[in-house]
Amino acid sequence: MAERADRIQIAWHEFEAVLFDLDGVVTDTASVHLAAWTRMFSELLSQYCRERGLPFEPFRPQDYRQYVDGRPRLDGLRAFLTSRQIELPEGTPDDGPDDLTVHGLGERKTGYFLEQIRAEGVTTYTSTLDLIERLRAAGLLIGLVTASRNRREILRAAGIEGLFDATVDGIDRAELALPGKPHPDTFVEAARRLGTAPERSVVVEDATAGVAAGRRGGFALVIGVDRVGQPEALREAGADIVVSDLAEITIRRAAVAADGAPPSDAEEISDPWLWVYDSFEPAEEGRRETLLALGNGYFVTRGAASDARADGVHYPGTYLAGGYNRLVSIIEGEEFEHEDLVNLPN
């Protein structure tokens, strides 16, 4: 299984399959979904508040994470509308994007999402693709579970159409009448399609709804990927392990016994030229970023993850000799002039 210590050690030979979420885990489309939802809800809220003389309260990233992220499209839409006490007719699947119904707004959001990925393409997380390659080499089956009805177009745009052994998406969920996340049914169906069972499978998710689905489904291991600074929320939802990026999950090589039995103790692949942290500890992240800073005397960049943003945990920084501000401070009644390096655009 896994040890929650300074090093993340996963005995992958104990599992048969790994089920990945799509948005935010394999592809960097969570930000595209957020932008599409924000655009659609901003239009709705502006019209709704203007017609009723109410103060405008925008759709916020925390609204996306709490009500929408990881859920089937219409479920997330209904949850947010309920949170704002907005009642709209349900409509029908035939409604268009201009219809002010739940189904119509869902179509409008989908249109905005597809418009952006068709114009800009889809970015993948290299660390996730690397992990999938190593898991497949270790003999594990790879599945994909997503609430998105646009799975085919997203995978095609990302160039990873043949990456998964089995998939379950929003279209499959509707056809099979399966409840979406946080219910475990779509993950259980993906395990069935791979010919395995939850107790022999791993779930990898970035949304609390998806993590909760993995835990409720009795999956052997649930890994939470924290890209937005919510590690505790993922743990509370049921994640066994929380990492900021899947590069923190290591694959260990083990010799197979002469009788072909699974290895009991895998030996770590080590490289004396590598300095590697195998775990994510928010309290230690600032120190680690400092220790892993790279520079040459004229230019230096802190060792933050490539997708990190300045927040309470991470502080990506890039500095250049001569790029500084001069500031005068008053300390105990005396003036002191300081020259401080300025964090340049990263």
Mean pLDDT per 10-residue run, the chain (346 residues)?
Answer: 50 91 90 89 92 90 86 90 93 93 93 87 92 92 93 92 95 94 96 96 95 96 92 95 89 49 45 63 84 90 83 88 84 82 84
Structural domain boundaries in the chain: 2-28+122-248, 30-120, 282-341
| Cα gap 94→112, rounded to integer Å | 18
Cβ atoms within 10 Å of 284's Cβ, excluding its own: 14
| Structure tokens, 9 | 């050690």
Residues 111-149: tens digit of each pLDDT: 998 898 888 888 899 999 999 999 999 899 999 999 888
Q: Is 153 exposed, middle or buried (0-12, 13-18, 19+ CB in 10 A)?
A: middle
Phi then psi for residue 106, to 5 deg, are: -60, -40
pTM to 2 decimals?
A: 0.61
pLDDT number for residue 219: 97
Q: Is 229 exposed, middle or buried (0-12, 13-18, 19+ CB in 10 A)?
A: middle
- Do residues 196 and 141 lie in contact, with contact meaning Cβ atoms separated by under 8 Å? yes
- Asked whether the domain spanning 30-120 has the same topology as the one spanning 2-28+122-248, the reply is no
pLDDT number for residue 1: 42
Q: Is 251 exposed, middle or buried (0-12, 13-18, 19+ CB in 10 A)?
A: middle
307 belongs to the catalytic site: no
185 belongs to the catalytic site: no
Domain 2-28+122-248 has CATH 3.40.50.1000: yes
Type of residue numbered 345: P
Query: Which residue among the candidates 23, 63, 95, 185 is catalytic per the annotation?
Result: 23
Q: Is 114 exposed, middle or buried (0-12, 13-18, 19+ CB in 10 A)?
A: middle
Query: Which residue among the candidates 21, 63, 95, 185 is catalytic per the annotation?
Result: 21
Q: What is the largest CA-CA distance in the chain?
A: 78
The answer, yes or no, to whether the previous bond of 198 is cis (omega within 30 of 0) is: no
Domain 30-120 has CATH 1.10.12: no
